[in-house]
Amino acid sequence: MKISPSKIISLLFFIFSGFYLYTAHQIQVFTFDENAAFNAKTFPIYLGYAGLIFSALYVLLPETRPSNVDLTVLDYKKTITLVILMILYGLTILRVGYFLSTSIFLVLSYIVLGERKWLWIFLLSFPFVAIFMYLLHGLLNIYLRDPFLKFIGVMG
């Protein structure tokens, strides 16, 4: 019996989703948010369950059209570079803050993926992260501690 590469990837995604769901249950929430309909744990928990369900379905159900992937043409260098960027992003987000670390991560990711138009790189990183942070902080009242924005006086 030959197992297709996409089934193996789905199995790995199932394991990753299980770990993600476990860590999502470990998220600390404020006392007044524990019984709220939506808090810091809600979306990660649902995302973990969705990952488990969809990857399990893909592993268990038969493939209608097996895919043939030529592993020699895949760009492993870009993949490894993006994984290293994600690890560095995870290590710097608490010290530098959400805004600056996410914007720099997006800029570097766009460059690694081959985008060369600096206008698009800038527009899809700094303003996009600022708008998303405003939605989280300003509209949804989800506080993100950001030392950089506190240092320049934008957030208290």
| Segment 90-123, tens digit of pLDDT | 999 888 888 899 999 999 999 999 989 999 999 9
Choosing from 13, 40, 66, the residue where a domain stops is: 66
Q: Distance from first CA to last CA of the chain, Å, rounded?
A: 60
Report pLDDT for 1: 55
Identify whether residues 150 and 93 lie together within a single domain: yes
**Predicted model pTM:** 0.66
Report pLDDT for 78: 93
Quickly list H helices, the chain: 5-25, 42-60, 76-96, 98-112, 118-123, 126-134, 147-151
Segments forming the whole domain that contains residue 156: 80-156
Identify whether residues 4 and 62 lie together within a single domain: yes
Identify whether residues 87 and 154 lie together within a single domain: yes
Report pLDDT for 67: 67
Strands (E), 1-149: none
Report pLDDT for 30: 74
3-class secondary structure, 80:
helix
Mean pLDDT, 10 residues at a time, over the chain (156 residues)? 78 94 86 72 91 94 75 86 95 88 94 92 91 83 75 70
In a domain, 75, yes or no: no
